[in-house]
Amino acid sequence: MGNPSGAVTDVNMPFNYLMRKPQFALSYHRDQGKPNWVSWYLAPVWLGSTPRQDNFRADPELPAGWYQVGSGSYSGSGFDRGHNTPSADRTSSVADNSATFLMTNMIPQSPNNNQITWATLENYARTLVGQGNELYIIMGSYGKGGTGSAGYKETIDNGRVQVPTRVWKVIVVLPTGTNDVARVSAATRIIAVDTPNQQGLTSNWGQYRTSVDAIEANTGLDLLSALPTAVQDVVEAAIDNGPTQ
């Protein structure tokens, strides 16, 4: 559905470095030690019975000389290693699931935000796939400073990983078919969510629904840029009011 930041695979673009993997694509910010956004596609072909690999690790595909956030970089911080592309969205093979544990796919996420609010939304997204849909999903974070189980922090890992203030996601829901971009219309369901990165959140992710336009205003991104402008103008201004479970 587009490259929202115009990211490129160029070491001279350390704040917007494009990484393409078979399982997802992302824009990486070297000096924040986390992705700006991660984008992936979810359909039955990606879902299977592969167990969670839990092999958190540095991403060897980062350019030489760049600091590699590692499996222990979040230790003692009070923040989870929060997946952007969820482990459970990539269970068709060991390689696919393992890819989600690369640290370039992680953000410092409040345990409540990660384990309750986002887990519920992720489960709902997979429910939509089970109902005959395919999804285009993009997730990201912005701001500096969040509250985890050990209190408020702006950075972790000796300042090498920035803690975001907000965590957002956009889900384009399409009945299974072909020519997906061309099929997006004013009637297409698009779920946009923007949550605080803090403790005390509940499973009610629906209360954080917003518009794509609002997320763009807060991040400077151009989301769903592959869509015709006339379609973007309509769908990006709307706030989803569909079911949440």
Average pLDDT on 9-26 reads 98
| Whether 211 contacts 236, CB under 8 Å | yes
Residues with Cβ within 8 Å of 142's Cβ and at least 6 positions away in sequence, in order, are: 164, 165, 166, 168, 218, 219
Catalytic residue selected from 81, 83, 153, 169: 83
Provide DSSP, the chain. ---TT--BS-TT-TTSEEEE-SS-EEEEETTTTEEEEEEEEE-GGG--SPPP----B--TTSPTTS----TTTTTTSS-EEEESS-GGG--SSHHHHHHTTBGGGEEEE-HHIIIIIIHHHHHHHHHHHHTTEEEEEEEEEESS-EEETTEEESEETTTTEEPPSEEEEEEEEEES-S-HHHH--TTSEEEEEEEESSSS--S-GGGGB-BHHHHHHHH---TTTTS-HHHHHHHTT-B--S---
The residue among 24, 51, 1 whose CA lies nearest residue 180 is 1
Average pLDDT on 197-209 reads 97
112 marked as part of a ligand binding site = no
**pLDDT for position 80:** 98
> 121: pLDDT confidence band, cut at 50, 70 and 90?
very high
Average pLDDT on 46-51 reads 98
Q: What is the mean pLDDT of the chain?
A: 97
Instruction: Look at the domain 18-235 and name its fold.
Output: Extracellular Endonuclease; Chain A (3.40.570)
Give the integer Cα–Cα distance in Å for 30 and 11: 10
**pLDDT for position 148:** 98
pTM of this structure: 0.97
| Whether 97 contacts 87, CB under 8 Å | yes
> 21: pLDDT confidence band, cut at 50, 70 and 90?
very high
Tell me whether residue 29 is one of the annotated catalytic residues.
no
**pLDDT for position 242:** 95
